[in-house]
């Protein structure tokens, strides 16, 4: 059986310029983040219409954090769907680092931060989740979705950290590579699954303000 997965990071959030670790902190989308998701929603709708007989997504899943839920609602709307919330798709828990900026963490916890940056599998944010724990629950969510849902075109709206570990899983690469995979706000990754075998066709694609009409044709077979 052939399934297509649209793995999506939520849109830009309020205060994103401060570059703080939000993790489990529930922050809303910014106005720009809503516009980003609206552009991506149009793009995905057009992409599906150009590439298959079925012109709609069959299911949309989301993290329980509001920035993902709102993003998922925008993605689901043209397809007449209601997003299904799955807590296992939630962003990593950053523990004591939640709400802190990169510079603040480096200043207050320099050794711990550098250890985590150098080896994100062996080390974890203080009192937070380690990368294996995040990967295990993300893969558990993916496995449940594919086991329970017979849908052929599925969107999952989640977070940068979750998308990275899922992509490492599908690509068959070690988790040490998570920071080698960029995941921008409102980016989509496209994965085809043939009887469960994943083929990653697109990574970290963002729709710019005027692109969704022209870019569809460029990767209409993705």
In SS3 terms, 13-78 reads as ECCHHHCECCCCCCCCECHHHHHHHHHHHHHHHHHHHHHCCCCCCCEEEECCCHHHHHHHHHHHHH
The DSSP code for 92 is P
Contact between 202 and 146 under an 8 Å Cβ cutoff? The reply is: no
- Domain extent for 105: 11-150+161-185+200-218
Count of domains in the chain? 1
pTM more than 0.75: yes
Ordered per-residue pLDDT tens for the chain, 222 residues: 899 999 999 999 998 888 899 999 999 999 999 999 999 999 999 999 887 666 799 999 999 999 999 999 999 999 999 999 999 999 999 999 999 998 999 999 999 989 988 888 988 899 999 999 999 999 999 999 998 878 899 999 999 999 999 999 999 999 999 999 999 999 999 999 999 899 999 999 999 876 544 444 444 444
Report the relative pairing of strands 2-9 and 153-158 from DSSP bridges: parallel
Contact between 48 and 54 under an 8 Å Cβ cutoff? The reply is: yes
Strand boundaries in 69-145, DSSP class E = 84-85
Question: Distance of alpha carbon 189 from its chain centroid, rounded?
Answer: 8
The whole-angstrom separation of Cα 166 and Cα 178 is 10
Backbone angles phi and psi of 27, in degrees to 5: -115, 145
Contact between 90 and 129 under an 8 Å Cβ cutoff? The reply is: no
Contact between 165 and 138 under an 8 Å Cβ cutoff? The reply is: yes
Residue 54 lies in a domain: yes
Residue 155 lies in a domain: no
Residue 107 lies in a domain: yes
Q: For position 208, which CATH number holds? A: 3.40.50.1240
Report the relative pairing of strands 2-9 and 188-194 from DSSP bridges: antiparallel
Residue 99 lies in a domain: yes
Residue 4 lies in a domain: no
Residue 191 lies in a domain: no
pLDDT score, position 77:
97
Residue 79 lies in a domain: yes
Residue 6 lies in a domain: no
The whole-angstrom separation of Cα 47 and Cα 221 is 8
């Amino acid at each position: 059986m052939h399934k297509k997965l649209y793995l999506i990071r939520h849109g830009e959030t309020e205060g994103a310029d401060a570059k703080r670790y939000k993790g489990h902190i529930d922050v809303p989308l910014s106005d720009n983040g809503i516009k980003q998701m609206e552009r991506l929603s149009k793009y995905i709708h057009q992409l599906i219409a150009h590439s298959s007989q079925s012109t709609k997504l069959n299911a949309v899943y989301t993290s329980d954090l509001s920035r993902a839920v709102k993003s998922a609602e925008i993605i689901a709307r043209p397809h007449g769907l209601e997003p299904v919330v799955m807590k296992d798709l939630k962003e990593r828990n950053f523990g004591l680092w939640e709400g802190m900026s990169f510079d603040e963490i480096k200043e207050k916890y320099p050794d711990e931060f550098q250890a985590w940056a150098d080896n994100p599998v062996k080390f974890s944010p203080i009192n937070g989740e380690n990368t294996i724990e995040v990967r295990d629950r993300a893969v558990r969510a993916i496995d449940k979705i594919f086991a329970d849902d017979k849908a052929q075109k599925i969107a999952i709206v989640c977070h940068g950290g979750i998308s990275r570990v899922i992509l490492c899983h599908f690509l068959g690469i070690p988790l040490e590579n998570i920071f080698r995979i960029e995941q921008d706000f409102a980016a989509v990754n496209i994965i085809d699954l043939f009887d469960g075998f994943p083929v990653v066709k697109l990574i970290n694609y963002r729709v710019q303000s005027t692109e969704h009409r022209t870019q569809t044709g460029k990767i209409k077979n993705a």
